[in-house]
Amino acid sequence: MYPHERSLVKRLEGKPFALIGVNSDSDREDLKNVLKEQNITWRSFWNGGSTGGPISRAWNVTSWPSIFVIDAKGIIRYRNVRGEKMDEAVDKLLKELANEKS
């Protein structure tokens, strides 16, 4: 999913959008190298080295990858949308936000 995420981050640069990742790799140092090699420029949190870490427990994540699209009010509006469906969800929320501000 990294290529799609990179393109999404680039396309929405300067917009009220943030991509946040959570990673469950067991070795944190190896993970740092992967993030650098894969050009991951967005915030990526470490889940304690397992899929049963504190972040996945707090968000009740039971499958990987899990995707949450959250609106400006902090409400989960979409879950597990990928590719074009993720773009559509994010674009819809950005449009809603722009309409609220005008």
Tell the residue number behind the tokens 């999404």, with chain if given: 8
pTM of structure: 0.86
Of 50, 1, 52, nearest in space to 21 by CA: 1
pLDDT of residue 64: 87
Q: What is the chain's length?
A: 102
Q: Exposure of 79 by Cβ count < 10 A (0-12 exposed, 13-18 middle, 19+ buried)?
A: exposed
pLDDT of residue 101: 86
**Interacting residues of 14 by C-beta distance below 8 A, sequence separation 6+:** none
Domains and CATH numbers, the chain: 2-101 (3.40.30.10)
Average pLDDT, the chain: 94
**What is the per-residue pLDDT across 27-45, written as a single tens digit (0 to 9) for each?**
999 999 999 999 999 999 9
